[in-house]
A and B are shown apart, each in its own frame.
Chain A
Amino acid sequence: MLRKGIALAALGLAVLAAPAAHASGGALHPKHVEFSFDGPFGKFDQAQLQRGYKVYREVCSACHSMNLMYFRNLGQKGGPFYDPKYPNPNDNPYVKSIAKDYQIKDIDSETGDVIDRPGTSADRFPSPFPNEPAARASNGGALPPDLSVMAKARHNGPAYIYSLLTGYKDPPAGLKVGVGQHYNPFMAGDVTAAWSGPHDKVPPGGFIAMAPPLTAGQVTFDDGTKSSLEQQAKDVAAFIAWASEPKMEERKAFGMAAMVYLFVFAGLLYASYRKIWKNVAH
């Protein structure tokens, strides 16, 4: 029976492995980077999420929206500003004060006029641009993508974000970089058309419209963490990973309980099976 079990498992793995390989468009594989939320027991590091949020707010949010995020999310369980004293994140004073710093477009309910009012924890993160053409016009024709689920929208997302932010390189000689473009070996794409060097040595990666957004010391961290390029990139990658999967911790904790239950249940069923079939030759 064990042999059959192994055969079954092997077949399952073979079926699963079949689609695993996807061509990554010639880009380099993301750098190896360890996050606190890796693995079945991994959790987000709240201090890191706070630093990451600061990087997003001070740097990324100038161009990138996060349309699926509300200020209240920052104070929900597992979030950067979660405080057990405020189980309802809308009451969290930190969240309220962050929201208040933003002016939100609204309609005056008395007059119907378009007004600006201070944000509340129930508001979405405001978009940096009113619409897509405005976003493109300000960015040389390129559209800065929404970052709400970016860690899920790229293969190996958190490591990819980290690698992209830290991976800008001077283009190798022979690579013609267009106006408003930047070379990044971790960006998906194909630079063959812009390459005048040897045919079999096309550089990896692609062109990206975003200029290198982070430099060492750009964001001052409130907890005294040294603000290196790598630190900022890693922290913002962690923040985006949290924003993409805010229920990850809940999921893993639930999963552990489910696994224990399933293993115990399987054991009991197997014992019952052995007992019931004991006197049947089969």
Chain B
Amino acid sequence: MSGHSNYEPKTGIERWLDTRLPVVRLAYDSMIDFPTPKNLNYWWTFGGILAVCLGIQLVTGIVLAMHYVPHVDHAFASVERIMRDVNYGWLIRYMHANGASMFFIAVYIHMLRGLYYGSYKAPREVLWILGCVIYLLMMATAFMGYVLPWGQMSFHGAVVITNLFGALPIIGEPITTWLWGGFAVDNPTLNRFFSLHYLLPFMIAGVVGLHIWALHVPGNNNPTGVNVKSKEDTVPFHPYYTVKDGFAIVVFLILFATFVFYNPNALGHADNYIPGNPLVTPAHIVPEWYFLPFYAILRAVPDKLGGVLLMFGAIAVMFVLPWLDTSKVRSMRYRPTAKLYFLIFVLACLVLGYCGGQLPDDHVIPGLSTFKLLDADLNSFVWLSRVATVYYFAYFLVVLPVLGLTETPLPQPESISEPVLSHPANAPAGAAASPEKRG
């Protein structure tokens, strides 16, 4: 998509097409000849894995939509009918339901890889922001998809999430009414969610196209974070990365298949097999696991509006990340202090996820009562969520801006090929000094 093209049309048809619509050239340049750093590790395979996830969700989703009935009286039974009477319906539906979870596992790893190796830094800011847009669209799609079976968690989850918008002053109420298509979550809500759930994945696919375009302009980042300097540093995408990504994709599919075939309901909630009933509220409304960290942030704030703003802020902060991190060094491989803060950040996210699945007032350490601080015992999940929430934001707003100015990074290699030939751990001291002179 950028730079010099090495494509040479070999047949008459290809030559004819190339002067009219160079689509074969585009495919050749971006998927076959594309120069890719030769030192990409397995964390880089998640882009391909995510493309496969999107493909699986689209194909299974389109088939499910052929059989699904978007009506509050029929949705639940129609989903079960797919599982019972449609040929391989159980497979299609379990792939779609577990596929959402797999999609989020992959996207979280993909994002953390970007955070660790500084893939959001210049010249890849737009690439990163497009990724954030995809993530946002994914969350909206997943939420609306979870509503469609119209089980207890579907219904009450929809009530809780749509009510969040009601916390906004003045515009809150009109927005919720508009989302609901009425004055409560009901059939119009289900209908529009189904419509949007079908639309958004194609928007995701479109933004994925832009994401790949924005990737192919500066090219891949790599584990050293050092720019590609020469042809020595790269290999053509095919066959080198098609085979490596292919291997990783199949390994990922093994994990996927373990859930689909042997534990298809492990990632869901049993209550969603109870038909949705507005008159009976489940004892414990929890979102799907991939939203739990944000749910914990929401509940960490005693004020509803504050919680909503902070929850959206947790995503918004990622959009400005490229301008928050002041370090010129991309890869944390050469930033030992940042590496430590990053590990704590990952831990904080996992802690938030765990807290999101617990009752806020329950004790973290069972049976130990400490003292009441503000509204809850210090040994409670709400306080643990608060600590982790503070760290989550501090990582973006304090650690990354300040650390880049104060830390002393390790020497970076001259080029990608250099640490390939001699691993940085074995490199003689001073061999790659003065990192500040390099980009």
Q: Which residues of A contact B (CB under 8 A)?
A: 1, 4-5, 8, 11-12, 14-16, 18-23, 25, 40, 67-68, 73, 145-146, 148-149, 152-155, 157, 188, 244, 246-247, 250-252, 254-256, 258-259, 262-263, 265-266, 269-270, 272-273, 276-277, 280-282
Contact = CB atoms under 8 A, between A and B. Distances in A.
B257 interface: yes
B353 A15 contact: yes
Interface stretch (B57-65, B134-142, B239-247): B239-247
5 contacts: A19-B267, A19-B289, A67-B77, A146-B275, A259-B261
B41 interface: yes
Interface string B338-370: 000000001000100110111100100000000
Contact of B286 (A14, A22, A247): A22
Given A11-B109, A22-B284, 11 more contacts: A4-B41, A11-B346, A18-B292, A18-B350, A68-B84, A149-B273, A154-B270, A256-B261, A262-B250, A262-B254, A272-B247
Nearest to B262: A40
B24 to A, nearest CB: 23
* Most interface-central of B84, B262, B284 (chain A CB within 10 A): B84
Given A152-B270, A276-B240, A23 B83 contact: no
Contacts of B371: none
A73 to B, nearest CB: 8
Contacts of A23: 283-284, 358-359, 362
Contact of A153 (B108, B250, B273): B273
Interface in B388-438: 417, 420-421
Contact of B246 (A8, A244, A269): A269
Given A280-B240, A282-B39, A282-B420, A152 B255 contact: no
A252 B240 contact: no
Contact of B42 (A1, A18, A67, A262): A1
A152 B97 CA distance: 15
Contacts of A281: 38, 417, 420-421
Interface of B: 38-39, 41-43, 77, 80-81, 83-84, 90-91, 94, 105, 108-109, 235, 239-240, 243-244, 246-247, 250-251, 253-255, 257, 260-262, 264-265, 267, 269-271, 273-275, 283-284, 286, 288-289, 292, 346, 350, 353-354, 356-359, 362, 417, 420-421
Contacts of B264: 251
Contacts of B261: 40, 251-252, 254-256, 258-259
Contacts of A259: 254, 257, 261
Contacts of B288: 19
Given A22-B286, A23-B359, A251-B264, A276 B239 contact: yes
Given A259-B261, A277-B240, A14 B39 contact: no
Contacts of A145: 274
A280 B271 CA distance: 53
Contacts of B257: 255, 258-259, 262
Given A14-B350, A68-B84, A154-B270, A21 B357 contact: yes
Question: What is the interface of chain B mostly: helix, strand, loop, or mixed?
Answer: helix
Contacts of B80: 68, 148-149
* Most interface-central of A4, A145, A255 (chain B CB within 10 A): A255
Contacts of A280: 38, 235, 240
Contacts of A154: 270
B350 A188 contact: no
Nearest to B352: A18
A153 B292 contact: no
Given A251-B91, A255-B261, A8 B353 contact: no
A16 B108 CA distance: 12
Contacts of A270: 247
B338 to A, nearest CB: 18
A156 to B, nearest CB: 8
* Most interface-central of A14, A68, A157, A273 (chain B CB within 10 A): A273
A105 B350 CA distance: 55
B271 A269 contact: no
Nearest to B277: A143
Contacts of B421: 281
B279 to A, nearest CB: 10
A277 B243 CA distance: 9
B421 to A, nearest CB: 6
